[in-house]
Amino acid sequence: MPPKSSGWWGKRRQTKQVWFWIMINPGDVISYIEMCSEEGVNLQRGMNYHLRGDISVILMSLRPNAPYADKVEEDGKILIYEGHDAPKTQDTPIPKIVDQLIYNPGGSLNQNGLFYKTAERYKRSKQNPELVKVYEKLHRGIWVYNGVFKLIDTWKEESNDRKVFKFKLELTENTLIYDDNHQKESVLEHNRLIPPQVKLEVWKRDKGKCVKCGSTNNLHFDHIIPFSKGGSSLVADNIQLLCARHNISKGDRIE
Ligand SMILES: [Zn+2]
């Protein structure tokens, strides 16, 4: 194998980067299967510390019947994610009425604990925040990739007479891509989280189809006026569903 500094290696990595960039972008609508294939595992739980290498993955939902009180703040730059309940057992028949925990019964840290310790470490050092990929449930079997966030804060708070964990995540300006060794690298990309209620409104208005051709495959939440040109993420009027083909052709025209 040639040394990493050679042109051959650089070129190959470049190709791979572009491929990953096309595979998944913030705002992409994907099926549950596609989400699992992107992460290389069958995603069963909401919090996944260091799922692949040192990247964590969380699943969120702000649908009316969602199990946890996740929130989007500051124009889509900040996500407040609620920790998860103790598992349902004989001793804990109703997890929703007991405090959330940071330890498993055996004494090891559970997912709350792993995220909590990492966020606490970042609060002390202000270095190397945990990077977290966030997926949001839009409908049954339909998910949106929201991008890569930094885990920057954590705390406990009272909620309905019990203690829950909260995690504060900040959207990065970068989108994550991987080289052949699954080392993370990044590309500058200005993005903003489209608030969940706006996504739902657009999804219903556009009937889950590309507004140009009616395709239901490879959909993406597109800013009609790009965020970088002053377009808003906060109003459905500036967001539309486009398939990958029409999203890419639009990009060519703007650049
Ligand atoms: Zn289309």
Written as tens digits, the pLDDT of the chain (255 aa) is 333 333 333 333 333 333 333 367 788 899 999 899 888 889 989 999 998 778 899 999 888 788 898 888 877 789 999 999 998 889 889 999 999 999 998 999 999 999 999 999 999 999 889 999 999 999 888 999 998 899 999 999 999 899 999 999 998 865 554 444 544 444 434 457 888 888 989 999 999 999 999 999 889 999 898 877 888 888 999 999 999 889 877 765 544
Dist. CA 54 → ligand 1 center (Å): 35
Distance 42 CA to ligand 1 centre (A): 29
- 174 CA → ligand 1 middle, Å: 26
Residues 133 and 28: beta-carbon distance below 8 Å: no
- pLDDT at site 172: 83
At 75 the pLDDT is 72
Q: How far is the CA of 208 from the centre of ligand 1 (A)?
A: 12
Dist. CA 69–CA 110, nearest whole Å: 19
Q: What is the pLDDT of residue 226?
A: 83
Q: What is the per-residue pLDDT for 175?
A: 53
- The pTM of the full predicted model, rounded to 2 decimals, is 0.80
Q: Which residues contact 41 (CB under 8 A, 6 or more apart)?
A: 51, 52
The pLDDT score that the predictor gives to residue 132 is: 93
- Ligand 1 centre to CA of 14 (Å) is 27
Q: What is the pLDDT of residue 190?
A: 45
pLDDT at 14: 39
For residue 28, count other CB atoms closer than 10 A to its CB.
22
DSSP of the chain: ---TTSHHHHHHHHHHHHHHHHH--TTBEEEHHHHHHHHTS---SSEEEEEETTEEEEEE--STT-SS--EEEGGGTEEEEE--PPPP-SS-S-GGGS---SB-TTSSB-HHHHHHHHHHHHHHH--SPEEEEEEEEEETTEEEEEEEEEEEEEEEEESSSSEEEEEEEEE-SEEEEE-TT--EEEEE----PPPHHHHHHHHHHTTTS-TTT---SSEEEEESS-GGGT--SS-GGGEEEEEHHHHHHHHHHH-
- Residue 76 confidence (pLDDT): 77
Q: How far is the CA of 84 from the centre of ligand 1 (A)?
A: 38
Going from the Cα of 207 to the center of ligand 1, the distance in angstroms, rounded, reads 13
Task: Report how far ligand 1's centroid is from the alpha carbon of 198 (Å).
Answer: 20
